[in-house]
């Protein structure tokens, strides 16, 4: 289309050097747009204040520009918010603003980790991530096999992640958060420094399959948890013991045992039809147990 178009075609890209755009980039004239400099933002803010009849301190406008890091739209929005109902804008007024979080997408953060040539560069990616370290760990774990094609590189990366996971487990068990630095270093710098032979190439990032699975099974897990709590209350055992030790026997009874026995248990535990269906694993049998437990209304 670009070759045949009679009029100029304007294209916008966050990363013009993305490998997938190579062929397209060769046909284009690249014009890079950089963040505005502070004095350019301040000049525009002055013009707005003068047009709106708002007196201002020079330092206040400079502070707005500094905090927004060259983002004109954010600077104007802040000016509008701060000047609302005021005839003069002071430095004290601007102090109420907090620095905006300029987080990067998870894909950019992952590229920083997988392609970084230094430990420092990989560790700095953490500060730019818009997810917590637990979620970032899942993303790194999922994408390491795709990003590291060399077997030895992948082995080293997975070893670093395995060690990080051991520290994660120890933190959960002991609440010793002083170990967190080991987790963060291993999952970022450890993975980055594993890349020795793998050549840099664009590979699509994958959404963590474990998170997909957890999302898909959320209702089942919640139902199982509620069942465990009902067993816990009746049997005076922990929910964990109810889930691991009692639930399998209940499922055996509800799936193939005596219907009357299953019905008595259902009444005793005050199980809902949904819970009975979960334990029975068969809609027809679940209906029989529910009817025997609660009568025709079930």
**pLDDT value of residue 40:** 93
**pLDDT tens across 221-248, in order?**
778 888 889 998 888 888 888 888 888 8
**pLDDT value of residue 273:** 87
**pLDDT value of residue 97:** 59
**pLDDT value of residue 99:** 46
**pLDDT value of residue 50:** 93
**pLDDT value of residue 101:** 47
- Give mean pLDDT, residues 186-215: 82
- Give mean pLDDT, residues 83-94: 81
Band (pLDDT 50/70/90 cuts) for residue 298 is: very low
pTM above 0.75, yes or no: no
Whether residue 215 has pLDDT greater than 60: no
**pLDDT tens across 50-70, in order?**
999 999 999 999 989 888 878
**pLDDT value of residue 100:** 45
Range with the lowest mean pLDDT among 2-6, 146-150, 212-216?
212-216
Which residues touch 225 (CB under 8 Å, ≥6 apart)?
Answer: 239, 243
Band (pLDDT 50/70/90 cuts) for residue 133 is: confident
């Amino acid at each position: 289309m670009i070759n045949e178009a009679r009029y100029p075609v304007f294209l916008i890209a966050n990363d013009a050097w993305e490998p997938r755009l190579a062929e397209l980039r060769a046909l284009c004239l690249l014009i890079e747009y950089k963040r505005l400099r502070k004095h350019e933002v301040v000049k525009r803010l002055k013009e707005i204040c003068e047009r709106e009849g708002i007196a201002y301190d020079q330092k206040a406008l400079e502070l707005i520009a500094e905090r927004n890091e060259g983002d004109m739209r954010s600077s104007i929005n802040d000016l509008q918010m701060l000047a609302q109902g005021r005839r003069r804008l002071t430095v004290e007024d601007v102090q109420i603003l907090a620095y905006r979080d300029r987080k990067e997408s998870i894909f950019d953060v992952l590229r920083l980790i997988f392609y970084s040539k230094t430990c420092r560069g990989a560790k700095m990616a953490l500060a730019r991530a818009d997810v917590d370290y637990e979620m970032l760990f899942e993303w790194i774990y999922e994408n390491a096999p795709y990003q590291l094609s060399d077997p030895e590189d992948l082995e080293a990366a997975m070893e670093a992640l395995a060690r990080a996971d051991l520290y994660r487990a120890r933190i959960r068990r002991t609440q010793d958060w002083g170990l967190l630095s080991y987790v963060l270093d291993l999952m970022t710098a450890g993975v980055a420094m594993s890349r020795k032979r793998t050549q840099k190439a664009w590979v699509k990032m994958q959404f963590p399959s474990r998170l997909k699975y957890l999302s898909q099974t959320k209702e089942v897990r919640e139902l199982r948890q509620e069942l465990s709590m009902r067993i816990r209350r009746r049997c005076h055992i922990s929910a964990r013991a109810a889930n691991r030790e009692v639930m399998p026997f209940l499922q055996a009874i509800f799936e193939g045992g005596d219907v009357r026995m299953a019905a008595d248990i259902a009444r005793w535990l005050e199980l809902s039809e949904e819970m009975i269906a979960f334990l029975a694993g068969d809609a027809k049998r679940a209906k029989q147990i529910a009817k025997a437990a609660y009568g025709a209304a079930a």
